[in-house]
Chains A and B, each alone.
Chain A
């Protein structure tokens, strides 16, 4: 899906593409791929959300890179069940993906979506889709109880074969939204929450952002 945003060339959709499988397959994108992102993270600890931007990269299947370039520089690699965080002026930090279930969930679903693998998604999540072809939404709810305690839901916002936003809703009222591709810079530039929300659902026809 990250890759889908790389190729925003509109592909004609099959006439009756209402089923989830076809929509997911439409998001598939082979590596290597790169896309811009803007992310806003909210937490009960924070008076205002943290905002940052950069690039997501998937050089090969099974490896994801998150490179933050604004407002500071940080590079995170997720590969082989390990997370490596490098930040300017600090020692590299590594930890196991199994210690961060939400990250694991995110990574696994990315991989499944990018390879258009509906079966793999269904193995780990309950899927629920709504919206229309031009603005649709897929809510993934973890099936695994341990994961479900930390991750409430993962929501994909897409338009046709273009993935636009990913929402992550975590336990303890932590949450984040990521704008992908060409809308990332617009999201970073905007101060208006409603305007930012609209970027995820361009049709803006009353799709409720909350699950």
Chain B
């Protein structure tokens, strides 16, 4: 093919890539919802767990720690930060322990007589009323007047403050100067609830940015007011919680991927440069891979409309295998052979290899896990297009070979050293026996069932999060009481009915505290009962007149109070819907949820969060004795989910192995040839598993998928060795190509194995081990002894 035509072809190809890339980039939505990595829930508990993980209040909660400064300075900063964030649209609620009257919006103020138990307990009788009024006189004279003056005329018994007291969490963090602090007083603690769900990366990002900007502004403002010499330089804001993790991991993954990617890219380029003694060839070799990547993106976008961030990163990793395809072609090229002829020669083997890998990933389409489906679509499209372009497009743009690249010394030396005679094959049985022994006797647990293992969050961050949660007295993450009923109202009524029993459990020390929606919002039934007991206007006016006798208040001072009680007598009972856009909404919505997929009589969920569980068994027994309450063990449920997921992935892998066997058998025509390819792959995979077991690493989803990736490589290696047979030149070219393939893959995944991110490390280690095992075993078991030069 002439140089000008090749140039036009290359230009056209690049243009197509650019257009495809632009389209994919504009249409693609990257999601961060970890639930896409989980199997579909089968039980009520699993469904609830997944709901909690993604949209639950826990997933929207950010924990803030302020450091740097004296406890007083920290408290001041905490107040200023909270004030600055009160109207932030990204946040539903910010708390630092200093809950104030603004927790109750004006339009709901008169509901105090329905929400507070006070009036039912006699707070509106003449004598208590008089005592309250005497107290208010003193209040008006004290600096606290500022706080209550706006309230007094309508609420002389300060029912509003009683409500706020009742709503204070039962387990409270330590305080300094009224705001939450860590026990050592070196951190001020705050909680923020984001409007965006936990795994909405953009929403969380906006909330985090708002928090940081507000903090920076507050620090600057306080520094401007501070005495010279008081430095705000070390004033730090630390944010923990799912949203912060997601951001941190995205940044870290991006950072490491970029760093490792640059290193790997340079390494690959050097390697190919060395192997082919040409600068342009490695660049041409990148074209099929780039085409595959863009095809993968396009198909995933078309099929799913979005792609999970981890799928994307992982997919590119898996696709890296396709870099081997052009390498085979490059190693086959030699003077006198048309590029297209070379491509035709390797095509059956290449197609079998790529086809079997595609088949393996095809199985993940049926694994019932969304992210795996995306992964499968991305990888299959990518591999198929990379293989296709290597066969049909790359030969058209490649320059014709001027030298046989495979005449290098290394391939020749290896061929002479290892392949001139048949190596004994029986020690493979010993190796298999060794692996079997490790499987049987190994002490490492096989599976990491912790769903957290799916979260690519480093352990130290999780520990820090746990410590902060403990300091803040946040609810127990493991145990949750779940009350199921037909409606929110029934849930509220039932929790009110259960309240004495729950209080008793707390008094008996079985747990430290329990929180539920009815603490904030009584049932309509209870509100109506309270309403019925509120005094009629004439009666209340008479009581007030008696109470005011001899006090310096004007007789008309509390007309607003009379009106407020009368208003409360007429109000329709408060419902969860009325709480929209108030700080209370969050607390109630947290505890009052719905399970639309449950039968109608169990569709409303009341969550009773517990903290400081001392005797889980006692709690479980108590729950079991109630017809509608269950104790949800989040940990056990998560493990059951993980186990379900594992069964699916393993089943998929077994089917994939079977299909792979069939494809290889069909492609090669005879069982004997097929076995020469399949046995090294099977043994190689066993060796990787044994090595992981010996290294003490339990398996996760990422190990399993990496194992499939490595097996795909192994099939390629074995197929090409098997194809080469004993023909000396062909064998040398194959050896040359496979050495480059293995070295480049080892380079990339070896670098990944050094990553700080658990997921990347798992993938890198598994694949790196796999490449070594598969190459050596294929070289050993799938090759034929070299025939003397010239007879092929």
Contact of A81 with B142 at beta-carbon distance under 8 Å, contacts A44-B554, A45-B553 already known: no
Q: Which residues of A contact B143 (CB under 8 A)?
A: 66, 76, 78, 83, 85, 100, 103
Contact of B142 among A43, A48, A68, A172 (CB under 8 A): A68
Q: Which residues of A contact B76 (CB under 8 A)?
A: 80-81
Interface assignment of A74: CB less than 8 Å from any CB of chain B = yes
Interface assignment of B98: CB less than 8 Å from any CB of chain A = yes
**CA of A72 to CA of B140 in the docked complex: distance in angstroms?**
13
What is the 8 Å Cβ interface bit string for chain B, positions 111-155, against chain A (1 contact, 0 not)?
000000000000000000000000001101111111101101100
Interface assignment of A52: CB less than 8 Å from any CB of chain B = yes
Interface assignment of B452: CB less than 8 Å from any CB of chain A = no
Interface assignment of A46: CB less than 8 Å from any CB of chain B = yes
Q: Which residues of B contact A83 (CB under 8 A)?
A: 143-144
- Evaluate contact between B144 and A95: CB separation under 8 angstroms: yes
Q: Which residues of B contact A95 (CB under 8 A)?
A: 98, 100, 144, 147, 178
Interface assignment of A195: CB less than 8 Å from any CB of chain B = no
**CA of A103 to CA of B101 in the docked complex: distance in angstroms?**
17
Interface assignment of A134: CB less than 8 Å from any CB of chain B = no
- Evaluate contact between A48 and B149: CB separation under 8 angstroms: no
Contact of A80 among B75, B83, B152, B552 (CB under 8 A): B75
Contact of A82 among B149, B177, B552 (CB under 8 A): B177
Interface range for A: 35 or more
Q: Which residues of B contact A80 (CB under 8 A)?
A: 72, 75-76, 177
- Evaluate contact between B137 and A50: CB separation under 8 angstroms: yes
- Evaluate contact between B553 and A46: CB separation under 8 angstroms: yes
Interface assignment of B557: CB less than 8 Å from any CB of chain A = yes
Contact of B100 among A99, A102, A150 (CB under 8 A): A99
Q: Which residues of A contact B555 (CB under 8 A)?
A: 47
B210 to chain A, nearest CB (A): 20
**CA of A66 to CA of B143 in the docked complex: distance in angstroms?**
9
Contact of A46 with B554 at beta-carbon distance under 8 Å, contacts A41-B145, A95-B178, A99-B147 already known: yes
Contact of A87 with B79 at beta-carbon distance under 8 Å, contacts A45-B553, A45-B557, A46-B557 already known: no
- Evaluate contact between B178 and A85: CB separation under 8 angstroms: no
**CA of A135 to CA of B176 in the docked complex: distance in angstroms?**
44
A142 to chain B, nearest CB (A): 14
Q: Which residues of B contact A41 (CB under 8 A)?
A: 140-141, 145
Interface assignment of A69: CB less than 8 Å from any CB of chain B = no
Contact of A50 with B79 at beta-carbon distance under 8 Å, contacts A80-B177, A99-B100, A102-B146 already known: no
Interface assignment of A96: CB less than 8 Å from any CB of chain B = yes
Q: Which residues of A contact B150 (CB under 8 A)?
A: 172
Q: Tell me which residues from 66 to 119 in chain A have a Cβ below 8 Å from any Cβ of chain B.
A: 66, 68, 72, 74, 76, 78, 80-83, 85, 87, 93-96, 98-103
B74 to chain A, nearest CB (A): 10
- Evaluate contact between B140 and A96: CB separation under 8 angstroms: no
Q: Which residues of B contact A39 (CB under 8 A)?
A: 141
**CA of A45 to CA of B150 in the docked complex: distance in angstroms?**
11
- Evaluate contact between B141 and A68: CB separation under 8 angstroms: yes
Contact of A96 with B144 at beta-carbon distance under 8 Å, contacts A46-B557, A81-B177, A87-B138 already known: no
- Evaluate contact between B554 and A96: CB separation under 8 angstroms: no
**CA of A72 to CA of B134 in the docked complex: distance in angstroms?**
12
Contact of A81 with B554 at beta-carbon distance under 8 Å, contacts A100-B143, A103-B143 already known: no
Q: Which residues of B contact A150 (CB under 8 A)?
A: 146
A100 — nearest CB in chain B belongs to which residue? B146
**CA of A41 to CA of B142 in the docked complex: distance in angstroms?**
10
**CA of A101 to CA of B142 in the docked complex: distance in angstroms?**
14
- Evaluate contact between A98 and B140: CB separation under 8 angstroms: no
- Evaluate contact between B140 and A94: CB separation under 8 angstroms: no
Among B101, B147, B150, B153: residue with most chain A CB under 10 A:
B147
- Evaluate contact between A45 and B153: CB separation under 8 angstroms: yes
Interface assignment of A174: CB less than 8 Å from any CB of chain B = yes
Among B83, B101, B140, B142: residue with most chain A CB under 10 A:
B142
**CA of A100 to CA of B142 in the docked complex: distance in angstroms?**
12
What is the 8 Å Cβ interface bit string for chain B, positions 91-115, against chain A (1 contact, 0 not)?
0000000101100000000000000
B622 to chain A, nearest CB (A): 33
Q: Which residues of B contact A76 (CB under 8 A)?
A: 142-144
Among A46, A72, A76: residue with most chain B CB under 10 A:
A46
A119 to chain B, nearest CB (A): 12
Q: Which residues of A contact B83 (CB under 8 A)?
A: 98
Q: Tell me which residues from 523 to 572 in chain B have a Cβ below 8 Å from any Cβ of chain A.
A: 552-555, 557-558
B97 — nearest CB in chain A belongs to which residue? A96
Q: Which residues of A contact B554 (CB under 8 A)?
A: 44-47
**CA of A46 to CA of B554 in the docked complex: distance in angstroms?**
5
What is the 8 Å Cβ interface bit string for chain A, positions 35-58, against chain B (1 contact, 0 not)?
000010101111110101000000
A53 to chain B, nearest CB (A): 11
**CA of A94 to CA of B138 in the docked complex: distance in angstroms?**
16
Contact of B146 among A45, A87, A93, A103 (CB under 8 A): A103
Q: Which residues of B contact A81 (CB under 8 A)?
A: 75-76, 79, 177
Q: Which residues of A contact B137 (CB under 8 A)?
A: 50
Q: Which residues of B contact A45 (CB under 8 A)?
A: 140, 152-153, 553-554, 557-558
**CA of A43 to CA of B79 in the docked complex: distance in angstroms?**
30
Contact of A52 among B100, B141, B178 (CB under 8 A): B141
- Evaluate contact between A174 and B149: CB separation under 8 angstroms: yes
Q: Which residues of B contact A46 (CB under 8 A)?
A: 140, 552-554, 557
**6 residue pairs, one from A and one from B, having the closest CB atoms:** A100-B146, A45-B557, A80-B72, A48-B552, A82-B177, A50-B141
What are 11 contact pairs spanning A and B, CB under 8 A? A46-B140, A72-B138, A74-B138, A76-B144, A83-B143, A95-B100, A96-B100, A96-B178, A98-B79, A172-B149, A172-B150
Interface residues, chain B, CB within 8 Å of chain A?
72, 75-76, 79, 83, 98, 100-101, 137-138, 140-147, 149-150, 152-153, 177-178, 552-555, 557-558
Given A50-B552, A66-B143, output 19 extra A-B contacts at Cβ < 8 Å.
A41-B141, A41-B145, A43-B140, A45-B140, A46-B557, A50-B137, A74-B138, A74-B141, A74-B142, A76-B143, A78-B143, A80-B72, A85-B142, A93-B144, A95-B178, A96-B100, A96-B178, A172-B149, A172-B150
